[in-house]
Amino acid sequence: MTDVVLECRDLSKEYSVGPQTLRVLDEVQLRLLRGERVAIVGSSGSGKTTLLNMLGGLDTPTSGEVRLAGQQLSTLKEAERGRLRNQELGFVYQFHHLLPEFTALENVCMPLLIGKTPISEGRERATAMLERVGLGERIGHKPAELSGGERQRVAIARALISQPACVLLDEPTGNLDSANGSHIVELLQSVNTARRTTIVLVPHDAELASTADVMLRMRDGQAERVTLEPEREVAV
C-alpha cells in the first residue's frame, strides 16, 4: 500500500485579470505522505488557498494533474470525484460552508450519511465528535444560532468525522479564541498520531505553523518543500 496520499504533477493554475493572465501555480510538483503535518505558508496572494483548493479537487487546474489515493481527479466523473473526496478527504474552509437549515449534529453527520453509514451510528459518532470539539451542549443548534468560533468547530468536527486519510484546513483557528484554538490544535495532533491522518493547513499564525513537520513555502508559483526540525519556529 502506497504512503502517497496526495500528489501534484506539473500543476498550473492561471486566472484572467482584465487583459492579463495571472499564473498563480506554475508546474508544481508535490507528494504528500501518510501521517505528515504540512503547513502551506507564503505572502498574501502567493497561491496558498489556490493550492489547497486544487488538492481538495475544489478547483480545476489549467494544466497538470492532482492525484488523490492514486486517482487523477480531473478524469473522474463528478459523482465519482465526490465519492472519493468524501472517503479520503476532510476540508475546513475559511467560511465554514455549513448547511443553514440543519443543526450542528446534522451537519457533522452529513459525510457519514453520504457514505451510507446507518443513521443511528452516524448520530452517535457525530455526537461524540461534537463533544470532542467542546460543543456537546450545542448539537441541536443551527448555524445561525452559533457564534463564529462555534461554527468553525462544527466545520472541524465535520471534516474529521469520516476518519479521512487527509484533512485540508484553511486557517482553521482563525475565528477561535486562544483556549479553543489550542484545543483544536491538540485534537488535530491526536488524530494525526492515532490514525496517521495527513494534516495540510494554511496557518494564520506562527504557533499553528509550528505544529507542522513539513513546510511548503509558496513563492513565484512554486511550492518549495522544507522538512522542519522539531520545535523550529515557522514564519508565516
- What would the pLDDT profile of 159-196 be if each residue is shown by its tens digit? 999 899 999 998 888 777 888 888 888 888 888 998 89
- The pLDDT confidence band at residue 236, using thresholds 50, 70 and 90, is low
Tens digits of per-residue pLDDT, 10-67?
Answer: 999 999 888 898 899 999 999 999 999 999 999 888 889 899 989 988 888 999 999 9
**What is the model's pLDDT at position 11?**
94
Q: Are 154 and 175 a contacting pair, CB within 8 Å?
A: no
Domain parsing of the chain, residue ranges: 4-227
Tens digits of per-residue pLDDT, 125-148?
Answer: 999 999 988 899 999 999 999 988
Residue 1 has pLDDT above 50, yes or no: no
Q: What are phi and psi of 24, to 5 degrees?
A: -80, -40
Q: Which amino acid is at 49?
A: T
- The pLDDT confidence band at residue 203, using thresholds 50, 70 and 90, is confident
**What is the residue whose three cell numbers read 513537520?**
213
3-class SS of residue 96: coil
Q: Are 89 and 52 a contacting pair, CB within 8 Å?
A: no
3-class SS of residue 126: helix
CA angle 229/235/236 to nearest 5° reads 125
CB atoms within 10 A of CB 180: 17
List all residues 6 or more positions away from 235 whose beta carbon is below 8 Å from its beta carbon.
Answer: 41, 206, 209
Confirm or reject CATH 3.40.50.970 for domain 4-227, answering yes or no: no
List all residues 6 or more positions away from 164 whose beta carbon is below 8 Å from its beta carbon.
Answer: 87, 88, 89, 90, 197
Q: What is the mean pLDDT of residues 115-126?
A: 91
Distances (CA, A) of 175 to 124, 126, 155: 27, 22, 12
C-alpha to C-alpha distance for 168 and 141, rounded to whole angstroms:
25
Write down the pTM of the prediction. Answer: 0.86
